[in-house]
Each structure stands twice: as structure tokens, then as C-alpha cells.
Amino acid sequence: MELLKRLNESFSASGYESEIRDVIIDYLSQWYTITTDSLGNVIAAKEGTEEHLVFCAPMDSSGYYLNHEKDDKAYCFTKLSSASKGKVDGAKARTCSGIKGTFSEDGKTFVSDEKLVLPTVADIIVPFSVSEYRINSRHGDLYGLLLLAERLKNVPQEITVVALAQTSLRQRGAFGKIPVSADLYVLIELLENQRVSLGDGAVLCLKDGSYLCPQTVKEKARRFDKIYVGEEKPSLAFELSRQGHGRRVASVKIPAKGIGTTEETFCVVDVFDLCNKLTSLCEKGLTKS
């Protein structure tokens, strides 16, 4: 759980992922060669002799930026992207430079807890998760990606692991320097829907508002006993699938609640289930007939 704790303690607002990026690089560099791109994506690669598989998950979270300093040293703020949801009234928060503070009870201003060091206009702030770093917490998809990366470190396939930045604003991370011609891309994301519950296990998504699961993936993915068909937009899976000359993308989900709010929750059992299923599929060859 140490890794999950580090992920949750790291600042990860969209476009301002440098702290969490360092944690990811520190973890993956034990087994993978690391590069980054201008959008902030981490691309970790391992050579292999068989099929080339790319595993992706978002690393960013919702955030706000301070846009106006009032006379009483309180700061007005605005959303960094529309993915910032729910209320932040009274929530604890911190800036990218580490200044801790509190959102006012009416949710309209942010006040620094520190008297000597004040934030400045244009600073980014993120609310703390309610549970901070307990099992029910944020970054379930990224946590799953990193655990999976460790498990796949010795498989014969060529593996690329991509932690995507800036996904909360128009799926911008999907436009980064991700390999263009891999055999299969597997996208891991959180899913909040009344048809899936925490503890259900990993879910295979066959369709959302714009993405359709390729037939070959459907046939290979019978291990996923939980299937999801939805209407969500925008779709990161769709954006990934239409870059370059087109990519074959499998979309797998981890059930979650309160995505984008201060009460985002997932269950580690579902993460382990996802890792088990994908590892097992990899051992058999994900794209072999």
C-alpha cells in the first residue's frame, strides 16, 4: 500500500502532474526505460520478442486555480477543467508549492492556513481526498497500471506503460508521444455507474458514447465476466483509438464512486482482480489467435 499512499499524497492536478510523475518514474524505472513528452505523459518501455502491448491509465486529477486575491487574503478560484466536480465547501486543500489551506464553508474562496507564506494568483490547488490515503482513495486506475507493470516486467512481450497526463481536459494526454503501431492498447480507467458496484471486479467496456470495442478484443476477453455498455462522453478510449493510423484499444474499468470529487473511492480488490486477469491474458498472448 506504500505505493498507493505515495500516489495519493502527490500533487496531480491536470497539467501540474510533476509530483506524481516523479513517483511513477521512480517506481517504473526499476524495470523500464523512461521517457516523457511535452504534454507530461510518462512512457515506460521494455523490450520483448513477441507482440507489442501498450497499457495506459490517467495520472491526473481535478484541480482549481487561484484567480483573484481579495482584500482579506482570501482567494477566489476557478476550475482547471470541467472534470472538477462536487462541492469543496470546507475541504482542506494545498497548492502546487505545498501551501496548505481550506476552502471556505460557502465554497467560494480559499484561505491559506499559513500566515507567513501566501499563495499567489495563478497557483493551482487540489482538495485533499476525504480519506487521504486509506484503501478507499484516488488513483485506482493508475495504481492498477503500476502494479500490472511490475507483474509484466519479465513477460516475453514488448511492453509499454503510459501514465497519461491532462486527461481531464479534452483527453489531451492521448495526443502525446505514445507508440503508434503496437499490437494492442489497453486503457485502464475508473468507472462510476449504478450498474457496477465496488467489489464487482474489473469490468470490460464494450461501448461508450463514442468508443466501440474491436471484435478481436471481445473474443480474447472472455475472462472478464463483468461487461459494461455505456453512453459516456467524452471518451479517452475513443481518442486513443483514433490517433495515428488507428489503434486497437481495449477499455477496462475499475468500479469507483465520486470520481472527480473529494470523496473519490475505489476498492483495491477490484484493482487486484484487474491485474490478475490482464496478467493471465498476457501470459497466453493477448493478440494471438
Partner 1 sequence: MIKTLSNAFGPSGCEKHVAEIIMSFLPASALVSMDKMGNLYATKEPEGESKGTIMLCAHMDEVGFIISEIHEDGTLSFQPVGGISSSCLLGKRVCIGETLTHGVIGTVAVHQLTKESKEQDVPISKMYIDIGAADATDAKTMVSVGDYVIFDTQFLQTETCFFGKALDDRLGCAAIIEILNCYQPKNYRLVACFTVQEETGLRGAKVASRVIQPDVAIVFETTTCNDIPNEKEEKQVTQFGEGVALSVADACTIYPANLRDFLVSLAERDSIAFQFKKQTFGGNDCGSISISNGGVPVAVFSIPCRYLHTPVSLASCSDYEASVRLGLAFLKEMETKPWNF
Task: Compare residues 14 and 262 and give the one whose CB is closer to partner 1.
Answer: 14
* Three-state SS sequence of 107-120: CCEEEECCCCCCCC
267 in helix, strand or coil? coil
Q: How far apart are CA 143 and CA 152, in angstroms?
A: 14
Cβ-contact 42, 36 below 8 angstroms = yes
Q: Taking the CA atoms of the chain, what radius of gyration do you get in angstroms?
A: 19
Task: Compare residues 234 and 285 and give the one whose CB is closer to partner 1.
Answer: 234
Give the DSSP H/E element, type plus range, for residue 66: strand 64-69
Contacting residues for 154 by C-beta, under 8 A, at least 6 apart: none
Give the DSSP H/E element, type plus range, for residue 262: none
Distances (CA, A) of 267 to 1, 198, 263, 273, 275: 12, 6, 13, 10, 13
CB 79 to partner 1: min, Å? 6
CB 10 to partner 1: min, Å? 16
Task: Compare residues 2 and 246 and give the one whose CB is closer to partner 1.
Answer: 246
CB 108 to partner 1: min, Å? 9
Task: Compare residues 79 and 207 and give the one whose CB is closer to partner 1.
Answer: 79
Q: Count of CB atoms within 10 A of residue 37's CB?
A: 15
DSSP 3-state percent helix, strand, coil across the chain (nearest 5): 20, 30, 50
CB 95 to partner 1: min, Å? 12
Question: How many Cα atoms occupy the beta-carbon half-sphere of 173 within 13 Å?
Answer: 26
Task: Compare residues 139 and 172 and give the one whose CB is closer to partner 1.
Answer: 172
Longest dimension (CA), the chain: 67
CB 170 to partner 1: min, Å? 6
Task: Compare residues 108 and 153 and give the one whose CB is closer to partner 1.
Answer: 108
Residues found near partner 1 in the complex (CB under 8 A): 14-16, 37-39, 41, 65, 67-68, 70, 76, 78-81, 96, 121-122, 124, 166, 169-170, 172, 175-177
Amino acid at 33: T
Which residues are bridge partners to 86 per DSSP? none
Task: Compare residues 38 and 194 and give the one whose CB is closer to partner 1.
Answer: 38
Q: Report whether the peptide linkage leading into residue 255 is cis, meaning its omega lies within 30 degrees of zero.
A: no
CB 124 to partner 1: min, Å? 7
CB 176 to partner 1: min, Å? 5
Task: Compare residues 120 and 197 and give the one whose CB is closer to partner 1.
Answer: 120
CB 279 to partner 1: min, Å? 29
